[in-house]
Amino acid sequence: MVRALLALPICLILCACSLEDSGPSVIWTDAPEMSLYAELFNAAQSRYRMDVQYKADLAGAVRDSDLAPDLAIGRYLKSSIVRDRFQSLDYLFGELTVNQAAFYPSLLGLGNLGGRQLLLPVSFDLPAIVFAREGQANSGGKFLLGLEDIAAEAGAWNKLKNGSYTRMGFSPRWGPDFLVYAAQALGADFREGRPIAWNEAGLDSAVEKLRGWTQAANGSAANEEDFQFKYLYTPAYKYLADGRALFAFMQASDLFLVPEEKRASLDYRWYAQGGLVPVSSDIVFAAIPRGAHNKPAAEAFLKWFYRDDNQKAMLENGRKTRAIEGSFGIAGGFSAVRSVTERVFPLYYAALVGHLPPSEALAAPGVLPNDWPELQGKVVAPWLLATSAIGPGSPGKPGDELAARFAVYSKNRGQ
């Protein structure tokens, strides 16, 4: 995801030389923030110089290029098209270059393949259920909120006038991204396949639960869509403050970019099902390609990058340059280094105090292909929006319907 940081006057393509030159070491990334971090690293020592090249499709770039960068840092690096290009990083733990125990375990585990640590987690994003701090919403003292936790309260908030709703508590169908989160958390288990695989029984159950939620809370999908069209054209913080809705979904990376004076009126809980918070699919990882020309530089950068004090310096530098206003946290998310998220982030994001993501509750996603954002946006989310509009107990198998959608999509792409 290319974030608003791209608008900063920072050149992301700093290296004009070939990777085969003996010049600076090269980082390929889809995280624009890495240019700031490379500048800090270069200023902190004189032995190595890291230059940054932006790659929108990082996994595809690593796969297709005959030349390898010294470091690849970005999303979907565990996809099958590219993971065999990376070397094992287990030796970094043995040499104490990187502290294995510092990471969130579920994220570190996702970077392991066949007992080899190919990827080190950098950052991650989480889904939040947001509500007005002084409003009627009640979390019931819960740290995590699932759809079942807010169903009754959301339905009771609804108000009809002249046959149409003038306020509505919540709908999972208001945001395509949330529908995908919800389906995953309810058992769909989307993962890499041809092009996507899923748990058939889990998908059936997820669709039925989403249909039932809409029917029970809001009467019909048509009611939700009519209300959304009429009233939800302002940002979530605005329609929550106005009392149009009781709850809204926001990614943490979006929530913490809301200006502080507007965010002060909001409270939130992490979205979860069965006590597990689904981590966003776009986890940022770091990897050293097997063909890297300057592995000592890559290792030195990783050792520097994963130190708590250096990540604090990254956040502080982001504040001073105002970059922190355009990108949340470390590389657009929470730091994968647990101590940084728990101890340093609250210094820069006061609303995290009392809301820190629970380590034991983080549920890492399955391995997804590098084109998952496109597949999600063009196939999975539109299909979920359409199929969740059908009443519960409807005939047909959701898995067959989704497979048919993918068949049409692949045909149109000429695959």
Give the pLDDT confidence of 83-122 residue by residue, as tens digits: 999 999 999 988 767 888 999 999 999 999 989 999 999 9
369, pLDDT greater than 90: yes
247 and 389 part of one domain: yes
The mean pLDDT of 249-271, rounded to a whole number, is 93
Q: Which residues are CB-neighbours of 260 under 8 A, at least 6 positions away? A: none
**Band of residue 323 on the pLDDT scale cut at 50, 70, 90:** low
* pLDDT in the model for residue 412: 83
Same domain, 211 and 314: no
**178 shares its domain with 76:** no
The pLDDT tens digits of the residues spanning 35-90 come to: 999 999 999 999 999 999 999 999 999 999 888 999 999 999 999 999 999 999 99
The confidence band for 371, taking pLDDT boundaries of 50, 70 and 90, is very high
* Under 8 Å between Cβ of 306 and 337: yes
Spatial CB neighbours of 389, under 8 Å, sequence gap ≥ 6: 173, 214, 221, 222, 225
Q: In the structure, what pLDDT confidence band is assigned to residue 293 with cuts at 50, 70 and 90?
A: very high
Residues 297, 157: one domain?
no
Asked if the structure places residue 366 within a domain, the reply is no
Average model confidence (pLDDT) for the chain? 90
17 and 59 belong to one structural domain = yes
- Residue 74 within a domain: yes
271 and 390 both lie in a single domain: yes
Q: In this structure, what token pair is assigned to residue 161?
A: 């006038």
Band the pLDDT of 396: cuts 50, 70, 90: confident
pLDDT at 255: 95
pLDDT band at 336 (very low <50, low <70, confident <90, very high): very high
Is the same domain home to 271 and 381?
Answer: yes
Q: What does the pLDDT read at residue 2?
A: 42
Query: What is the pLDDT, as a whole number, of residue 139?
Result: 66
- Whether 22 and 158 map to the same domain: the answer is no
pTM: 0.91
Q: Which of 116-125, 158-167, 238-247, 387-396 has the lowest mean pLDDT?
A: 387-396
Are the C-beta atoms of residues 169 and 150 closer than 8 Å to each other?
Answer: yes
Mean pLDDT of 264-290: 94
135 & 96 share domain: no
- The whole-number pLDDT of residue 17 equals 40
Amino acid, res. 88: S
- Report if residue 364 sits inside a domain: no
Same domain, 148 and 203: yes
For residues 255 and 150, membership in a common domain is answered with yes
Return the CATH number at 396.
3.40.190.10
- The boundaries of the domain holding residue 98 are 4-124+282-358
For residue range 179-196, what is the model confidence (pLDDT) as tens digits?
999 999 999 999 999 889
Q: Is residue 365 part of a domain?
A: no
Give, in order, the Cα–Cα distances in Å from 321 to each of 206, 284, 315, 393. Answer: 44, 23, 10, 54
Largest distance between two CA atoms of the chain: 74
Looking at residue 415, its pLDDT comes to 60
